[in-house]
Amino acid sequence: MAEYRLIDRCQICDSRAIKEIITLGDLPLVDALPSGEPSLKESSVKYPTPFLYCPQCRFCQLGCMVDQSLLFPVEYPYTSATTRILRHNFAELARECMDFIPLDKNDLVVDIGCNDGTLLNNFKDHSRVLGITPENMGVLARQKGITVEQSYLTREIVDKITMGNGKAKIVCATNVFAHFPDVHEALSIIADLLKPGGIFILECGYLPALLAGVQYDSIHHEHLRYYTLYSLKFLFEKHGMEIIHAKRVETHGGSLRVYAARRNEQQRHPLAKIEELLNEEKYQDFEGKVLPEFSRRVIAHKSKLYELLLQLKSGGKRIYGIGAPGRATVLLNYTGIDESLLDFVLETPASYKIGKFVPGTKVLIVDENKIEEDPPDYALMLSWHIGTELMIKLKGQGFKGDFIMPLPEVAIIKNNSVLFE
């Protein structure tokens, strides 16, 4: 595959009647973190970000597909276990799943994109577990006693798994279902991995949450598709599958958890909210109102955040960014915030991102303990989606400055707010 290619049709229904909603310009790959001057030059490589809407499928997609080997190399730095809300979400998912689908020691649970094994760790005492992931973080899963195939999702790797382990009762794909270059091929492979009566569980960013929260910082090259429940239902039905459970969850600023099975092989989950969510989506005028309003708010937000930081820095204030998720790369690059406005970005000591730079900038990522040793005047919450948790933590570390919440609206939150009493 070439380094990237532009997409001119819907990735689900193949319609050419897709419409551009907004572009964030050319952006670097969000997790290609440079570690010094040579790689800083490499991180200046950027790719287009057309954000497109398909009226037929009622979902959005990125109109630029970058080669997977560039997006998810073996040194990919993300780890699931460093985020408390994600750990709790995975534990809750496993409990919910096992309450609905009883497991025994012979059953197989497979997690596609298992990363450090945080999700599978909740299943391993109840069944056999196996992870698929292309990056070296799989070694952390192996240290937890989890079998890992270091690979992208391919038909060859699934054939290898089924020959050696049999088919899976449960297949999970949390926060990776938007990553597959060909979602139809991926779903076909996943269906082949499932045993009769098996369940596929996915979690993905939820388009209505993204639009309502002006979460343009979630729009980047790792996320090829931005789903509604309607679009997922449309997709699964094309592959002879049906959704048996769906609900919203709070991870990543607002996600959707969906259970699917082959048609007529499983009963619906007793707490399924499928019709409720579909009705909510049905009455949203995406094309005529919601998407144009989103575009307008994104453009207005860009100058508002930049001007606030410029004003504070002109007054001699020091500002640290808090958290270096992929969304931080988007936010800083789109708004033009660089090392002249942001002194450092702080990450938890366990992060593999420490000592590197936010892509597209010369803003260094350092240990969060710096906020105790050399406190700033303001903390810009780049991980705003877990902002309350982080603000309470920073206050507990003795931070006396104020917080800047970038989204959904730019706001300064005073440290002496009643929120922290």
pLDDT tens for residues 102-150? 999 999 999 999 989 999 999 999 999 999 999 888 889 899 999 999 9
| CA-wise closest residue to 357 among 332, 334, 379 | 332
> What pLDDT digit, counting tens, does each position of 268-283 carry?
998 899 999 999 999 9
Distance CA 89, CA 351 (A): 20
Average pLDDT over residues 330-341: 96
Q: What pairs with residue 405 in β-bridges? A: 411
**With pLDDT > 90 as the criterion, what percentage of the chain qualifies?**
80
Find the angle CA(338)-CA(340)-CA(344) to the nearest 5 degrees.
Answer: 70
The average confidence (pLDDT) of the chain is 92
Distance CA 405, CA 170 (A): 38
| CA-wise closest residue to 193 among 156, 167, 173, 174 | 167
Kindly tell me if the per-residue pLDDT of 42 is higher than 90: no
Three-class SS state of 205 = strand
Three-class SS state of 261 = strand
Given phi > 0 = left and psi -120 to 50 = alpha, else beta, which region is 398? left
Distance CA 176, CA 412 (A): 33
- Contacts of 9-16 with C-beta under 8 Å, sequence gap 24+, read 10/54, 10/56, 10/57, 10/61, 11/61, 11/183, 11/224, 11/225, 12/54, 12/57, 12/59, 12/183, 12/225, 12/231, 12/234, 12/235, 12/238, 13/54, 13/56, 13/57, 13/234, 15/54, 15/56, 15/57
Domains and CATH numbers, the chain: 309-420 (3.40.50.720)
Distance CA 158, CA 165 (A): 10
199, 201, 207, 210: CA torsion to nearest 10: 170
Task: Say what the pLDDT of residue 419 is.
Answer: 40
